[in-house]
Amino acid sequence: MPETSRFLTRLPLPALVLFLCLLVAAPQAQAAGDDVNLSLCKQVLSRMLCKKMNEFGYVGKVQDGVYVVSVFYASKNSEYLCAVMPDGQLVVQDRTWHPMRRVVSYTPDSDGKCLNAAFSSPECPNRSSIKACPTKTPGDAKEQVKETFWVRPIPQILEEEYKAMTAKTQQNATVPAAPAPAAPPK
């Protein structure tokens, strides 16, 4: 019997720690697969409320394409439901105040990687278009450099190579060249 009571006293603590770890890690793991949709939601909300993107927090995912985002607004913490619909509409609804509901249309770009939306709010001076793209990996950056290298005019490429070569020779020179001796007067 003492062994059983000792086992029961030790069980809840590790189970509680495991539960808390899973609770903290779950929103981040869910957000990783839906980063473009979540980024679009945060950008539209930041434009709607005239807040910075880093002021929004990811709370969780209700179902596929529906996210809960929180922000400190109107002297209290507010939560917003943001639904990214496959038909090209983004629906934002306030869970705290309820009467606010906005529908914003979005379109995927020609590659299908990024989502573009046009939304402006009278309270917010930022009127540029909204573009949400997946985060670039180092492989994407290398591929883009390869694609754009030969698009430039050849004289520009040659000039850049020449500048790079002359910079290397100046770096390798340890002692400046001695001036030529002056010719003696006759």
What's the predicted TM-score (pTM) here? Answer: 0.57
Q: Comparing C-alpha atoms, which of 74, 105, 66, 69 is closest to residue 89? A: 105
pLDDT tens per residue across all 186 residues of the chain: 455 444 444 444 333 333 333 333 333 333 334 789 999 999 999 998 888 989 999 999 999 999 999 998 878 888 999 999 999 999 999 887 667 889 999 999 888 788 999 888 888 888 888 999 888 777 777 777 777 777 778 888 888 888 888 887 666 655 555 566 666 666
Q: Which two tokens stand for residue 95?
A: 């869970």
Tokens matching residue 174: 């340890």
Report the Cα 178 to chain-centroid distance in Å. 54
